Amino acid sequence: FMGHNPTFAVGRYGGEIQLDSDNREVDSMLLIAQADKLSLLDKVSAKDAAEIENTMREEVLEISRHPEIVFVSRDVSMRQIADNRYAIKINGSLSLHGETRGRTIEAEAEISGKTIRAQGEFKLKQSDFNIKKVKALGGTLKVKDEVEISFDITAEI
């Protein structure tokens, strides 16, 4: 586990996507994730999972002070790569742990009827968001400063 990055899923999130008048381009987007709804996906004992999740919520994210993780777009560009498939570049701001930083996120999206599905990933350094390094499981689990965030989000439009 040393230097391991555990995998978490966000259990509750919401947001809004604004499309242009032709419903062809994304004008803006907002995504809000509830920090207290992160759950560990790694296969570990129930006791270890509870300790890791508690450490993430209470010591890493400090959810009592910072209950939400928010991404707001400033600029969205889309390029069609196939029928109903687009490469998207989103410039915006990520608010995490009481700090807001500019972030560019690239994704692929598929629009089907009134549904848009976006998938992508990006990296961030916890230290950029004033998140202190913590240990769990008696020091056997140390999370790296740079973490990878991946997403697969479906929205009704």
Cα–Cα dist 110/60, whole Å: 34
2 within a domain of the structure (yes/no):
no
pLDDT of residue 138: 62
pLDDT of residue 132: 83
Q: Identify the helix (H) or strand (E) that includes residue 15.
A: strand 13-19
Per the confidence metrics, is the pTM higher than 0.95? no
| Helix, strand, coil % in the chain, rounded to nearest 5 | 15, 55, 25
pLDDT of residue 157: 75
Cα–Cα dist 109/81, whole Å: 10
Q: Identify the helix (H) or strand (E) that includes residue 144.
A: none
3 within a domain of the structure (yes/no):
no
What CATH number did the domain enclosing 150 receive? 2.40.128.110
137 within a domain of the structure (yes/no):
yes
Number of domains in the chain: 1
112 within a domain of the structure (yes/no):
yes
> Which range marks the domain in which residue 35 is found?
8-156
Q: Other C-beta atoms within 10 Å of 78: how many?
A: 17
pLDDT of residue 4: 56
* pLDDT in 10s for each residue of the chain, 157 residues: 344 567 889 989 999 888 787 766 778 899 999 999 988 898 888 998 888 888 889 988 999 999 999 999 999 999 999 999 999 999 999 999 999 999 999 999 998 988 889 999 999 999 999 998 776 656 656 678 888 899 999 988 7
15 within a domain of the structure (yes/no):
yes
16 within a domain of the structure (yes/no):
yes
DSSP 145: S
